[in-house]
Each structure stands twice: as C-alpha cells, then as structure tokens.
Amino acid sequence: MKINLRTSLLAAGTILMAITGAAIAQDARPYKPVTDEMLLNPPAEEWLQWRGTYDNHGYSPLDKINKDTVKDLQLAWAWPMAEAGIQETVPLIHDGIMFLQTSNAVVEALDAKTGDLIWQYRHVATEIPQAWSYQANQARRQKNSIALTGDKVVLTTPDAKIVVLNAADGKVVWEKEVLDVMKGYSYTVGPLIVKDKIISAISGCSIAGTAGGCYIMAHDLNTGEELWRFNTIDDPNNPEQQKSWGDVPAENRWGGTPWATGSYDPRTNMTFWGVGMPGPYAELIRGSGDGDVLYTNSTVALDVDTGELKWYFSHLPRDNWDLDSPFERVLVDQEIDGKMHHLMISIPGKNGIAFALDRDTGKYLWSKETIVQNVVESIDKDGKIKLNESLIPSAVGEGAMICSSVSGGKLWQAGAYSPLTKSFFVPLTEACNTVTPTQSEFTAGNAVGSVKFGPRVLPEGIKEAGLMQALDINPTQGESKWQFRSRPSMTSSVLATGGGLVFGGDAARFVKAWDQVTGEVVWEQRLNAPIGGSPVTYELDGEQYLVVPTGYSNAASSISSAFPEVPLPSGAGNSIFVYKLPAAK
C-alpha cells in the first residue's frame, strides 16, 4: 500500500487554492526583484536570507526596538501556519511581503503590514510506501527557509525536488527532480543563492537506499541544470578521505548529511557547509575501525564555481554516538592592530564545543566547551581531537552514558553574532543519554542508525536544561561573557539586533529579549506553544516589527522530563506572532 504525504483533505485544499491563487494573481501587486547586490548588501529594513546575510550572522542593524523601547511592543497581527510538523521556519521579508515556508513544502506570501494572505503554494509530493516511516517524517521536519532571488522564490522539497515560483503570484516557473526520493533522498534545508546558482544540500543520507552518496550540489538558477556536486562521504580525489573509512567501500557508507544551509564569502568565492554524523552510528557496526570517517562531522569549504574542495576540518572524528556537527557556520571579520582576521566560528554540534577557524585556510584557532560533555578528552594546539575511547563500544548491546545526548548540546537552533558587542549568542541544551549499539536489519525508507538511545536526563549536578551562552569572539579565544540558564530547554534560533538585544525562546512558551552586554532579560511574552524557528525583524513605513514563530518542538519534547512542572501543549500550535512598536504620536 502507498500513501501520499498529503491527505485527501489537503489535496482538496490544493484544488481550492489553485482556483483562489489564479484569482489573486490577476490582481498581484507590483514586485521589486531581489538583485545580487541586495543579497550581498541587504537593506537593513528587510530579511532576505535564512540568517539575514551570507555570513549567517543572524543580525539586524535595526535599532528602534531597543532596551528602552522593547517594553512597548504590541501585537500587530498573527497567522496560523498551513501545516503541522516540527516548527523550524524562518520568514523572509521583501518589498512589504512576508514569505513563509512550512512543513510539507507549503509556501505562503503574506502582507507584512496586515498579515493578509496574498497567495499559497502547496507542493504535491511523490507517493511513498506506508512503511517508510523515517522518510515520511522528513516531510514534517523541513528546516529554515526558502530563498529569494530576482522575481523568484526557490523551494527545496521533501521529495528531493527544486521548485522555482513566481514571487508575485506563487505560480511554478520550473520544477526539477534532483535525486530519487524512492531511494530515500529528500531536502530538509533551504537553498543558498549565489549569483546564478542554487546551492543546496540533500538529506536522507542515513536511509538504507542512499548508501554511497550524500551531496552538496549547485544548479543553474534559470534552467535547473546541475553544475556540480560534492559527495561528503566519497571523495576519490582525497586518499586520506578514502582511508578514513577503513575497509568500508563507498557503496556501504551512510551519513554525512549537511543539515544546515551554508554561508558564503564573496571575497574568496567559497561556501562553507557543516556535515553531520556517519552511519551506522557505531564504528562496530559500520566497520570503519578507528578511522576518522571523513568528511562526517566536519566543515567543508568549497569553491562556488566548481564545487572543488578547498579545505576541511574535522570537529568530531570517529563519531559513535550520533553527535552531529552540521549546524550553522558563521563568518566574522575583525581588524586587530591593523590586521584583518577572517574567522569562521561555530558551535557545530551536539557536544557543544565552540570552534574558531581561519576561514581562508581552515587552520584551527581555538575551541571552548560550553555544556557538560564527556566524549572529547582534549584538543591540541593544532586542533587534533582526542576522544574518550572508554565510551566507544566494543560489543553489540554494550551501552554507555553519553553527554551530550542525541537531542542535546547544539541542535538546529542557530546562534547569532553581533558586531556591536563582538559576541556570539547560542541556544544550548544540557542533556545526556545512554547509547547502545544494536544489530538491526536495514529496510527501505528507514534509517540505518543501529543504536538504541536511552531517556534524556540532565548531567549530574545540573538542574537546568536550557542555556543561552554569550561568547566573546576574537582570533585568539572565545571566553564566556555571560550565561543564562533556565529549567526549560531553549527551542528557537536567536536574533541579535542593533538595538543591543538578543531575541529567542524556550519550551515554556516564553519569547525573551536579553541585553547583549549583561544577559539580563529585559522583556518577555508567553505565547501559545514553544518558541520555534527563528525570530526575525523588519521595518515598514518607519515602524520596526518583530516576528516570533511558535509550534511543535522536538527540542522541547525530547528533554521535557527534566522540567515536568512545565506541561507542553498537546497540539502543534504552529503560528507566527508579529509585534511592532506603536506609532509615534
């Protein structure tokens, strides 16, 4: 038996929206194209990309909402999202329009001033067998956002397609199947637009049918033609990469998923992507011995024009515990004593260790532990990582308590860098769990993890699951400026602003504003569901707005037993709330 990723009710809704969309399109408002120059230097009043800018800062220079005025924020409008699922969306705002992507590849365009619907697009996905539970779940866990370029909206879909829409009316311009969804491939992250290229990263690489290939790819923006692809688990041009998998041939390798959209440096024409864990999770099962299993849990720097690997850095070699290191890579320039330093900073994965690299060469600069972790014993001056080998299983069924957990440390929730304070603000989760390797059959449409995870628990001596960490960033160290701990876990990405604030939220449904300098909470509101996705800000007609997504959160449910006094909503509640300062009188 096969099922569609949509229900018959949603199919009926698609027909209705197609009729409605045609009517709306006839009266579509004029639309100002997003130029290459705008992507390089975005207008302060708009939010054009996943983290606002190519450098993934998650920072807006807008400053009308600040420490003095934030208390005056008022709700301007709200909107329920079209789909349930895990809430990880990032609204984009351009030319007075908010573009909103939700799970199951639904895109809506809303009037950013009033919240009125302009158009809606619903992707009709390829049918998959009912037994493919992991793959079906991919459709409801799409991360971050779509992309804007010219007069187009670019969407990546759960059935491994790229769809380009007309931004004015939501009509399809072209659609291309990139990889075969029936093997297990899907998209769960949004694309990066650089000049005439759509640069994207595929998911599903831990599904049985996708052995041998996990890719970062570039396609022609106008035609969909593939321009290049980089395989994160099989690089014939690098003997060290091949050796790192031991005796495992390419056709028996899994993992290496780039789970978060990359950053881009126009100065060097390089794009930087984080890569996830290997599969199966335990080396005992995957057969890789004590090899580093490159390029899993690494940063890869690629030439935008050719896809050629310029450098790589391994943040967690020989992963045995699903401690992904794929999350946002942030590019920071700092001039010190007349010398410009070009950094790449990140807390790339679940063990919560912050790294700074020279982004031109990949040279290790420094690292800093932020949460309780027990898998890395030390990191030497060259960035070589020594593992706690006592935690590496030697037999099936042999478990160990691992900190952080599979759903702890640094997850998809993105941090933000503020040039005002030269600080990196990162939402983190304290958690541990047992990890036990198992021998399991690999079945189509399902993951090849072959481990059993125990319940998430707090580390010994820790009473708060949530941590907001502020790191002082410079080329020589990343010391803590302040920490804010809370019983409930952090559930959203964070936004830093020119008003000296950091916005984010938690499982207890509170959106908060922290003072960037002191870490003091200067404003909070309780909403309908855990705060999700990423807060963003924009300005229209001289008024600054703040957008706060809410909804179902794995980051809340997976560690909820650590804060039982905070009951989670039984419904998804996926919505956005839009605040603004009242107009000056």
Q: How far is CA 89 from CA 9, 49, 104, 546, 548, in A?
A: 23, 12, 12, 15, 10
Query: pLDDT confidence of 419, banded at 50, 70, 90?
Result: very high
Contact 48, 33 (CB under 8 A): no
Mean pLDDT of 289-318: 98
Mean pLDDT of 539-550: 97
Domain ranges of the chain: 2-580
Angle at 54 between CA 221 and CA 295, to 5 degrees: 85
Residue 383 has pLDDT above 70, yes or no: yes
pLDDT digits (tens, 9 = 90+) for 342-375: 999 999 999 999 999 999 999 999 999 999 999 9
Contact 208, 446 (CB under 8 A): yes
Query: pLDDT confidence of 408, banded at 50, 70, 90?
Result: very high
Residue among 483, 472, 466 at smallest CA distance from 520:
483
pLDDT digits (tens, 9 = 90+) for 89-100: 999 999 999 999
Residue 422 has pLDDT above 80, yes or no: yes
**Residue 127 CB-density burial (10 A; 0-12 exposed, 13-18 middle, 19+ buried):** middle
Residue 520 has pLDDT above 90, yes or no: yes
pLDDT digits (tens, 9 = 90+) for 38-75: 999 999 999 999 999 999 999 999 999 999 999 999 99
Number of H helices, E strands in the chain: 6, 42
Residue 146 has pLDDT above 50, yes or no: yes
Q: What's residue 112's pLDDT? A: 98
Residue 456 has pLDDT above 70, yes or no: yes
Query: pLDDT confidence of 585, banded at 50, 70, 90?
Result: low
Q: What is the DSSP string of 481-511?
A: EEEEEESSPB-S--EEETTSEEEEEBTTSEE
Mean pLDDT of 484-507: 97
- The proportion of the chain whose per-residue pLDDT surpasses 70, expressed as a percent, equals 95
DSSP E strands in 17-146: the ranges are: 59-60, 74-80, 92-94, 97-102, 106-111, 117-122, 128-129
Top mean-pLDDT range of 78-87, 119-128, 301-310, 560-569: 301-310
**What CA–CA distance (Å, rounded) separates 262 from 348?**
12
Q: What's residue 134's pLDDT? A: 83
Query: pLDDT confidence of 143, banded at 50, 70, 90?
Result: confident
Residue 241 has pLDDT above 50, yes or no: yes
Least confident of 29-33, 373-377, 431-435, 464-468: 29-33
pLDDT digits (tens, 9 = 90+) for 323-342: 999 999 999 999 998 999 99
What's at 82, amino acid-wise? Answer: A
Residue 211 has pLDDT above 90, yes or no: yes
Query: pLDDT confidence of 136, banded at 50, 70, 90?
Result: confident
- Is CATH 3.20.20.70 correct for 2-580? no
Query: pLDDT confidence of 570, banded at 50, 70, 90?
Result: confident
Residue 10 has pLDDT above 50, yes or no: no
Q: What is the 3-state secondary structure (H, E, C) of 424-476?
A: EEEEEECCEEEEEECCCCCCCCCECCCEEECCCECCCCCCCCEEEEEEECCCC
Residue 23 has pLDDT above 50, yes or no: no
Helix (H, G, I), strand (E, B) or coil at 136: helix
To the nearest whole number, what is the mean pLDDT of the chain?
93
Q: What's residue 137's pLDDT? A: 81
Residue 4 has pLDDT above 60, yes or no: no
**In Å, how far from its chain's centre is CA 185?**
18
| pTM (whole model) above 0.85 | yes
Residue 545 has pLDDT above 90, yes or no: yes
The first and second tokens of residue 398, run together, are 């042999």
Q: What's residue 582's pLDDT? A: 84
Least confident of 4-8, 451-455, 509-513, 553-557: 4-8
Length of the chain: 585
Residue 216 has pLDDT above 60, yes or no: yes
Residue 583 has pLDDT above 80, yes or no: no
Query: pLDDT confidence of 539, banded at 50, 70, 90?
Result: very high
Mean pLDDT of 172-178: 97
The first and second tokens of residue 123, run together, are 């992707």
Contact 501, 514 (CB under 8 A): yes
Q: What's residue 27's pLDDT? A: 63
Mean pLDDT of 105-129: 96
Residue 440 has pLDDT above 60, yes or no: yes
